[in-house]
Amino acid sequence: MTASPAAHNYAHLDETLAKKLIQQAGLGDIDQRIANGTRLSLEDGIRLYETPHLAAVGLMAHRVRTSRHGRKTYFNINQHVNYTNICIYSCKFCAFAAKEGEARGYLMTPEVVEQKVREQLHRPVTEVHMVAGIHPTMGYDYYLDVVRAAKRGRPDIHVKAFTMVEIEHILNISGKSEDEVFADLRAAGLGSCPGGGAEVLVDRVHKAVFREKMGPDRWLMAARKVQRHGFKMNATMLYGHIERVDERVQHLIKLREVQDECGGFMAFIPLAFWPYHTDLANFGHVTTGNLDLRSIAVARLMLDNFPHVKAYWVMLTQESAQTALSFGANDIDGTVTEEKITHEAGTTEPQALGVDQIAHLINEAGYEPVQRTTIYEEIGERQATHA
């Protein structure tokens, strides 16, 4: 896997030239703060979102990305299993959820989950990503059983499961102490948690588009609990709907504070909103390249304590995700397989990508594809090329 020479030029862009560009964009003071290791403020974040000089913002983020990860771009070989779409909540941005009794509603038994994992045994999958709706009646044991089922299907798989919304629900229905629940989840085989369900961690947006579901404080509290019990997790932000620029930056600052406190976040993943078949379908537009790249870059600059920024190709599109690698992202997620949440909402992307396709996206942009485990251990190149 060789990189194109273009990357070397961009990654090693002459420093004087870079400074000049950033200064001409009126962002010299922010650049200086980044160089000094001074944290960026809410106002800085807003300016980075609002300046017309996207290239300068991208360059600053690219510098940070390069200083931490060089040309490495991580990906993993994973599969998604959405074990139920039946959900007690009716979030306006969601096209995936169904009500119990609705024809399109489904619930996988643990046996079906095991079968889904077994179906991929011919591929070197290292992670199963399991998230779902909040089912009205399934009990505590069901959640442990779906984790056990995945492990039965493939004992060496890393189970990354349950958003903070599911974690809070599991805690609530368990009738057990927090310590006992996390011990049960660990014993069942839970390895880490994905970053979904955060949406925009601001009360106004919560009230307007996902008022029934847990709000910002409860999401952040659940994240603290998960991390204090020794699990790593990711964090997302669903952007491109009704949220304002300042609200996006507030979201980033809240995550940064929890990371200072607990240190268990691995990657930040900006999720581009897809409106089709949702209650926000009349909203009128889908994500744009400008907003995708800016969201990646601003996150890279604001989240100085997050090791990784992920460009999730399913929501960003392959085009934006590839370009995002030069705007601060150092991870492109995985092969995925059978994604439902974004496909219900109209993404034009395929259900899965092969390792060759992922490696091509990364190589062509001038970066080095590195297969990783869920928790960012590097896996040798040989294994990656045989998927």
Residues found near ligand V47 in the complex (CB under 6 A)? 93-95, 131, 163, 194-197, 199, 234, 236, 238, 269, 271, 273-274, 278, 312, 315, 333, 341-342, 345
Residue with the shortest CB distance to ligand V47: 196
C-beta of residue 136 within 8 angstroms of C-beta of residue 167: no
Return the number of other C-beta atoms located less than 10 Å from residue 385's C-beta: 14
For residue 202, give every residue at least 6 positions away whose Cβ sits within 8 Å of its Cβ, in sequence order, or none. 216, 243, 247, 250, 251
- CA 227, CA 123: separation in Å to the nearest integer? 31
Q: At what angle do helices 289-302 and 245-262 cross, to 10 degrees?
A: 40
| Nearest one of 100, 74, 73 to 87, comparing CA atoms | 100
Using the minimum distance from each CB to ligand V47, give the nearer residue, 59 or 91.
Answer: 91
The crossing angle, in degrees rounded to 10, of helices 245-262 and 216-228 is: 20
Shortest approach of ligand V47 to residue 25 CB, angstroms?
30
Nearest distance in Å: CB 167, ligand V47: 12
Smallest separation (angstroms) from ligand V47 to the CB of 324: 14
The CB-of-194 to ligand V47 minimum distance in angstroms stands at 3
* Element (DSSP H or E) covering residue 344: helix 341-344
CB 165 to ligand V47: min, Å:
8
Tokens of residue 68, six digits: 């931490």
Report the nearest approach of ligand V47 to the CB of residue 80 (Å): 8
Q: Is 129 helix (H, G, I), strand (E, B) or coil?
A: strand
* CA 176 to each of CA 134, 142, 191, 214, 377: distance values in angstroms, whole numbers, following the listed order: 19, 15, 20, 20, 33
At 334, is the secondary structure helix, strand, or coil?
strand
SS3 state of residue 370: strand
Name the minimum Å distance from CB 14 to ligand V47: 35
